[in-house]
Structure 1
Amino acid sequence: MTDITLKSIKAAQAQIDGRIIRTPTLELRQTGLEQLLPKGCTATMKLELFQKAGSFKARGNLLSLKALTPAQLAKGVTAASGGNHALALAWAAKTCGTSAKIAIPKTADPIRIEGCRALGAELVLCDCIIEAFPKMHEIAEDEGRAIIHPFEGVGMSLGAATCGAEFYADAPELDIVILPVGGGGLISGMSAALKLLNPNIEIFGIEPFGADSMYQSFQSGSPQSLDKVDTIADSLGSPTALPYSYALTRANVTDIIRVTDDDLRQTMRVMNESLKLMVEPACAASLTGALGPLKSYCEGKNIGLLACGANISRTRFMELVG
C-alpha cells in the first residue's frame, strides 16, 4: 500500500495550488443551530461544498489526471459515479485537455447530468450505480481509457488528504472530526492527514443504513460489498469497499456510525434554515452524526465537520425535505 505522508501531502498541495479552491471554515454558532449541538462543544465546519465542481472530489481527480502519461491523456479517461465524481472528473478532464466518458445512473439529479455534459463529458446512462461499475470497466477495455476510480487509489485519497491538512491548519484544536463515508476516498485521505498532524484526534465516519459497505467492512475486518444500495444520499451510495481506501480508513478511524435517510433529511432542513445552504444529503451527514448518534460523546469537545458537496437541484431538494 502506498503510504500517505506529510511530505506527499505537501507535494500534492503544491500540484493543485491555484487550480482548486482553498475552502473556508465556519464556526457553528448560528441561531437555530447552536442549541441543537452537543452541550458545551465548539463546532467548526469546513465548507468544501464551495469547491470546484461542487465537491471535494475536484482535488483527487485533478491529482489523478496529473499522474497520467501523455499517451493516457490522449486516449481519455472513464469512471463510474453517482454524480459528484462525474462532475469533478468532467471538470478535471477539461482542465487537463482530455476527454471523459462516464457511467452514471439515469436516476442521477438532472443538474449533475447536465453539468457533466456542459463540461464536455460523454455520459453512459445506467439503471443503477451497481451497473455503472462494470460499464466503467467495459469502456476502459473497449476504448483504452484510463480508469479514474471514484474512491479507490492513492490519487483520490491524497486529494482528500489535502483537504484534511487545510482543515487542521485552520482548526488545530479539534478533538473529534466527523466525516461522511461513501466508498471511502474522502475519509481515508482526510483521516490519514489529520492523524499525521495530531495522533490524538478521533475520527468517526457517518454512513447511511442503506449504503453501509464501510460499516459492514469494519464489522467483518475486510472489504465488503452490498447486494443493493437504497438511500437518498446518492453521493454516499457505493456498493462496495475496496482494499486501499478500506485499509487507510481502518488504520485511522475510530468507528463508522450509521444514520437514517430521515435523519439526513432533517439535517438538510436545519442547514437550510440556519446556514442558508441548500445541500445534498451526503453534505448533511457530518452534522447529522453530531446532532444524533455522536451527540453525547461530543459534549464539551472541539468537533470538526465537513460540508462535502452541494450538487443538488432545487427540485430534488424540495422533493426530499418538503
Structure 2
Amino acid sequence: MSPQTSPAPLETSAWTGPTSLEAIRAARASIEAWIVETPLWAWRSPTLSSRRETDTPVWLKLELLQRAGSFKPRGALTVMRTLDADALARGVTAISAGNHAMAVGYAAQVLGTTAKVVMPNNANPGRIEGCRRYGAEVVLVEDVHAGFRRVEQIAADEGRTFVHPFEGPLTALGTAGVGLELIEQARAAGTDLDAVIVPIGGGGLCAGVAAAVKLAAPNCEVFGVEPIGADSMHRSFAAGAPASIDAVRTIADSLGAPYAKPYSFELCRANVDELVLVDDDQLRDAMRLLFRDAKLAVEPAGAAATAALLGPLRARLVNAKVGVVVCGSNIDEASFAALLGL
C-alpha cells in the first residue's frame, strides 16, 4: 500500500509530550488522516442499572473501533510521524502481545515503510494474523522478556527504529487524544464527567489520557486499572520508582507489560488519582456483560475499566458520571468463546 497524503507537519514545540491542550490538539491533527475519532456512547440498560444501583449511564469511549482494533495507532503514528526519509527507508520494529504490533504494522503501511514485529509465541492467533495482514514481518519468541531482547537486536542489526509499546513523550502525546476527545464529546452531550477509568499495561494509554483529562477537566478523577497478574504500575507506585514483574499471569495479555518505565510512570503518578486491581474472573464477567448487554465483543483488556467500575470502584462511583475507556477488541472468535464459556 502506498503512503497516504500527509497532513501539515506538527510544530516542533508540540513534541514535548501532553503538556498543554494545544499540544494535544496539534498532535491529534497531525495524524488525523490515519485515525478516527471514536464514538462516546451512553450505555443505559436495566441490567447495568441493577449492577451499579443507579440509573446514571456509563459513557463508553469506544477505542475498539479505532484503526487496527485498538487505541495503539494513536501513539505509534505520533512517534513514526517524526521519522525522516532515511529512517523510514530502514523501517521500524516493535515488541507486543498484539495490539501495538498491529498498530505499528498499520502505521508502517500508511506511512510507506516496513515493520518487523516481535511477539510472544502464545500471542492470540488473531493478532498474529492481523499483523501479517498489515504487511508486518512477525518474529515469535518465548515470552515478552525474550521479546525485548530480540527487538533490541533487530534494531541494532538492521537499523530499524524501535517504536516502544508504551514509553515516551510522543506516545503519551498520541494517546492523550483519547482523553481529550472523551471529555469534549461528553460535554457536547451535556455531561461533565466526574471520573474516567483507564486500563494500564505499561502505562502509555493511562499516562496520556490522565494528562489530557486533568488539563481539560481538573476536577475529574482518573482511575487506572491493572490485572492482578500484571501489576507493574501498582508496584511502581508503592516503590516510588518504575518496577517490574517476573511474569504475566492474567488473561489480559494486552496489559502484560513486564515493567514500568520512567516517563509513563511519572506522568501517571502526577495525574492518576488512584490505582485499582481486578482479577481474571472480574474481567470475564465484564466481557460477558459488555457482550450481552452493550453488544460489544471485547478482548480482556478492553473489559478492564468496566470490571473496575463494577468491582473495586462500584460503591465509590455509584452516583458518578463515569467515562470508561474500552481500549481494544483484537481477539479471535475461538478465544473469545473459550474465555466466556460460550
TM range (shorter): over 0.9
**CA-atom RMSD, angstroms?**
1.2
Does 2:213 match 1:190?
no
1:142 is matched with which residue: 148, 157, 162?
Answer: 157
Structure-1 separation of matches of 2:29 and 2:17: 18
**Secondary structure, counterpart of 2:34 in structure 1:** coil
Measured after TM superposition, the shift of residue 38 of structure 1 is 4.9
Which position in structure 2 is the counterpart of 1:168?
183
Q: How many percent of aligned residue pairs carry the same amino acid?
A: 48
Which position in structure 2 is the counterpart of 1:204?
223
Q: Do 1:40 and 1:299's aligned partners in 2 also have CA atoms closer than 8 Å?
A: no
Measured after TM superposition, the shift of residue 126 of structure 1 is 0.8
**Secondary structure, counterpart of 1:78 in structure 2:** strand
Structure-1 separation of matches of 2:70 and 2:133: 17
Q: How many residues align?
A: 322
Write the letter of the residue equivalent to 2:105.
A
Write the letter of the residue equivalent to 1:290.
L
2:77 is matched with which residue: 48, 62, 66?
Answer: 62
Q: Do 2:49 and 2:55's aligned partners in 1 also have CA atoms closer than 8 Å?
A: no
Q: TM-score, normalised by structure 2?
A: 0.92
Which position in structure 2 is the counterpart of 1:282?
301
Structure-2 separation of matches of 1:143 and 1:35: 56
Write the letter of the residue equivalent to 1:43.
V
Structure-2 separation of matches of 1:28 and 1:20: 24
Q: Compared with structure 1, are the counterparts of its residues 38 and 223 closer, same or farther at alpha carbon in structure 2 (3 Å cutoff)?
A: farther
Does 2:242 match 1:231?
no
Which position in structure 2 is the counterpart of 1:252?
271
Q: Do 1:179 and 1:203's aligned partners in 2 also have CA atoms closer than 8 Å?
A: yes
Write the letter of the residue equivalent to 2:198.
L
Which position in structure 1 is the counterpart of 2:51?
36
Deviations 1:20-40 (A, max 9, x none): 111001111124223212535
Deviations 1:201-250 (A, max 9, x none): 11001100100000111111110011111110011000100000000000
1:72 is matched with which residue: 62, 87, 112?
Answer: 87
Measured after TM superposition, the shift of residue 300 of structure 1 is 1.3
Does 2:337 match 1:318?
yes
Deviations 1:15-67 (A, max 9, x none): 01232111001111124223212535442111110000000001111111101
Structure-1 separation of matches of 2:124 and 2:16: 35
Measured after TM superposition, the shift of residue 112 of structure 1 is 0.6
Which position in structure 2 is the counterpart of 1:14?
29
Write the letter of the residue equivalent to 1:288.
A
**Secondary structure, counterpart of 1:101 in structure 2:** strand
Does 2:38 match 1:23?
yes
Does 2:316 match 1:297?
yes
Deviations 1:101-159 (A, max 9, x none): 11101111111111111111011101112211111111101111101000001221111
Structure-2 separation of matches of 1:22 and 1:219: 35
Does 2:261 match 1:261?
no
Deviations 1:240-289 (A, max 9, x none): 00000000000000111111011101111111110111110000001101
Q: Do 1:48 and 1:308's aligned partners in 2 also have CA atoms closer than 8 Å?
A: yes
Structure-2 separation of matches of 1:20 and 1:38: 36
Higher RCO (C-alpha under 8 Å, 6+ residues apart): 1
Structure-2 separation of matches of 1:44 and 1:286: 11
